[in-house]
Amino acid sequence: MTAPGSGPTRVVIRGLGEIGSKAARILLRRPQVEIVGVISHQVGEDLGEAVGVDATGLKIVGEPQELAGLEADICLLATKQKVAEVHDEIAWALDSGMAVIASGEEMIFPWAAAPDLAESIDRRARAAGRAVLGTGVNPGFVMDVLPLCLSSACADIERLEVTRASDFSPYGPLALRSLGVGLSPEQFQRDVETGKVDGHIGFDESIGMMARAIGWTIDYVRDELRPIIAKATRTTPHVTVEPGQVAGCEHEAVGYSEGEPKIVLTHPQQVDPAAEDAQLYDSIRLVGVPTIEMEIKPEIEGGTATAARMVNSIGAVLDAAPGLRGSDELPLPRITPLGR
């Protein structure tokens, strides 16, 4: 923990894709943080120019070794989705004395996908005296943190339902492939069976976090991928979808407790939703006492909000007990305009 008055919090950014770039732009406007190192593939570029703002005088490096000896408080890690893919990057940051905030979907609740690696990260974080957190918007907020917060106003909850209907237009070929966009309905079904179409990553993480926080036992999770078939032509910078083809995927996961559906998470994502006036929203329904029905319209845009959630977590992660943490273990989140 950096004591007040001891200077700004020193941040390293690893990964300067969409999320990392947005996090950098937010950080550059916050007075009590300073970006002291950036590792990404735009080697040699000035950080500011690489993210579309004024030059900062800080050059991007390609390899972590080039930051050897740098003193920093925390690393914002915006590289990969899976725990196995970011484990070594987290280990490097911890061994370099930094706390870590990761945006990878599985890192929101790493105990779901990779309990052994989660244990390894936890042990290393405790040894380093630093905390590690995964955060984002989905998973990491709409389908877990926000329903938990709302649940605090309930005396009883029979079932918890969240739907996030979002626009997939900004995404490129690789992401489109994972949703089966542009396929025929028949090919979509075949690709679901072979795993080429795999939809959203994060349901197990959202369900895992909520079950842990509330103390529910979820016996198993069943998921289903349903094609959203275009009735009109859909266009994005990356793809054109003709009527009859797949415009997106409605991915649903249901966590069962004692045979009853306890947590129902539905995530329809599609390209060019305006072409058919498809509504975009985040909705949460807690069926209980009282029943609470919430809607955010339009849905919280994922990119900026994920970067904001990372930056807004800096103070809480620096103050957290050492170890691997979930958002359910940290204080009520909030924007931190000063940087921490």
Q: Name the site residues for a copy of itself (rule: CB under 8 A).
A: 22, 26, 29, 137, 141, 145-146, 148-157, 213-216, 289-290, 292-297, 300-301, 304-305, 307-309, 311-313, 327-338
Q: What is the CA radius of gyration of the chain?
A: 20
Q: How far is the CB of 316 from a copy of itself (least distance, A)?
A: 9
- CA distances (Å), 304 to each of 18, 69, 164, 175, in order? 9, 31, 16, 18
Q: How far is the CB of 171 from a copy of itself (least distance, A)?
A: 18
Residue (31 or 44) nearer to a copy of itself, CB:
31
Give the number of other Cβ atoms within 10 Å of residue 196's Cβ.
14
User: Could you tell me the smallest distance in angstroms from the CB atom of residue 305 to a copy of itself?
Assistant: 4
Nearest residue (CB) to a copy of itself, 97 versus 216: 216
Please report the DSSP string for 63-95 in residue order. SGGGGTT---SEEEE-S-SSHHHHHHHHHHHHH
Please name which of 226, 264, 219 lies closest in space to residue 248, comparing C-alpha atoms.
226
- Give the shortest CB-324-to-a copy of itself separation in angstroms: 16
Strands (E), 170-271: 220-229, 234-235, 240-241, 246-257, 260-270
* Between 25 and 226, CB nearer to a copy of itself: 25
To a copy of itself, the closest distance from the beta carbon of 319 in angstroms equals 11
Structure token digits, residue 120: 């390894």
Comparison of 218 and 292: residue with beta carbon closer to a copy of itself:
292
The rounded distance, in Å, linking the Cα atoms of 289 and 299 is: 26
Taking the complex as a whole, the smallest distance from the CB of residue 333 to a copy of itself amounts, in Å, to: 3
- Of 196 and 281, which has the nearer Cβ to a copy of itself? 281
- Residue number, 66 or 295, with CB nearest to a copy of itself: 295
User: CB of 284: closest distance to a copy of itself in angstroms?
Assistant: 9
Other Cβ atoms less than 10 A from the Cβ of 302: the count is 20
185 or 331, CB closer to a copy of itself?
A: 331
Distances (CA, A) of 185 to 194, 222, 224: 15, 21, 15
The three-class DSSP label of residue 271 is coil
> Strand pairing partners for 268?
250
Which residues is 223 bridged to in the sheet? 253
Count Cβ atoms within 10 A of the Cβ of residue 214 and give its class: 0-12 exposed, 13-18 middle, 19 or more buried.
middle
Beta carbon nearer to a copy of itself, 240 or 291? 291
CB of 248 to a copy of itself, least distance (A): 21
* Sign of the Cα pseudo-torsion (198, 200, 201, 202, in order): negative
- Contact (Cβ atoms closer than 8 angstroms) between residue 76 and residue 308: no
**Measured from the CB of residue 338, what is the shortest distance to a copy of itself in angstroms?**
5
Residue 225 in 3-state DSSP? strand
Which of 94, 99 has the CB closer to a copy of itself? Answer: 99
